[in-house]
Amino acid sequence: MQDKIVIGIDPGSIMCGYGIIRKERGATIYITAGQIAMPKKQPLSVRLKYLHEGLSEIIHTYQPDEAVIEKIFFAKGIKSALHLGHARGVAMLTASMQDIPVIEYSALEIKQSVTGYGHADKKQVQHMVKAILGIKQDLSFDSSDALAMALCHSHTMDYKIHTPLVWS
């Protein structure tokens, strides 16, 4: 497996978490994590612009080879589901515009990969992400979720088939 830099993106319409790791000679190395905060009182269109600009800057700085995002999941209400869908679309488009493949995993797959339990809560995920990557400082849930996505991909990328299957 060749060395790769992976960015996990946990999009939201107010806060977007990101986490970047490098898979190098079988080891997984923590690079950075953080949040992109969007102005709460601005219209959604303006917040999505902030999201695009923030992700573009992060991608430009760290040059990830692949991006990981969580598959659509249950949202609390119709409005929040639509806003989340818009933010996911912006995140996916921003990565795709930089020719970065976007890989999706379900919340169950991500939690299973990082904690061994597909229904782990946010604190359990955060604890395991910090332990796996040797992170001492505090992480927001958005950042630890994004790192969990990147770790899930790191754990499975060696086993993914990257060529289409052809059935005879």
Catalytic position from the list 66, 70, 109, 145: 70
The answer to whether the CB of 104 falls within 8 A of the CB of 69 is yes
d(CA 20, CA 106): 19
d(CA 5, CA 28): 10
One-letter amino acid of 125: V
Is residue 3 part of the annotated active site? The answer reads no
Catalytic position from the list 10, 66, 109, 145: 10
Catalytic position from the list 66, 109, 142, 145: 142
Is residue 99 part of the annotated active site? The answer reads no
Is residue 142 part of the annotated active site? The answer reads yes
- Write out the catalytic residue numbers: 10, 70, 142
